[in-house]
Amino acid sequence: MTDQAHQASATESGTPEIPGKPTSASRTTLSHIMTHSDTNLLGTVHGGVIMKLVDDAAGAVAGRHSGGPAVTASMDEMAFLEPVRVGDLVHVKAQVNWTGRTSMEVGVRVLAERWNESTPATQVGSAYLVFAAVDADGKPRQLPPVLPETERDKRRYQEAQIRRTHRLARRRAIKDLRRQRAAEGFED
Residue by residue, pLDDT tens for the chain (188 residues) are: 444 444 444 445 565 689 999 999 999 999 999 999 999 999 999 999 999 999 999 999 999 999 999 999 999 889 999 999 999 999 999 999 999 999 999 999 999 999 888 889 999 999 999 999 999 999 999 999 999 999 999 999 999 999 999 999 999 999 999 999 999 999 87
pTM of whole model > 0.75?
yes
Beta strands 103-114 and 88-99: pairing type? antiparallel
70, HSE (Cβ side, Cα atoms, 13 Å): 31
Distance between CA 138 and CA 75 in Å, rounded?
19
List the helix and strand counts (H, then E) for the chain: 3, 7
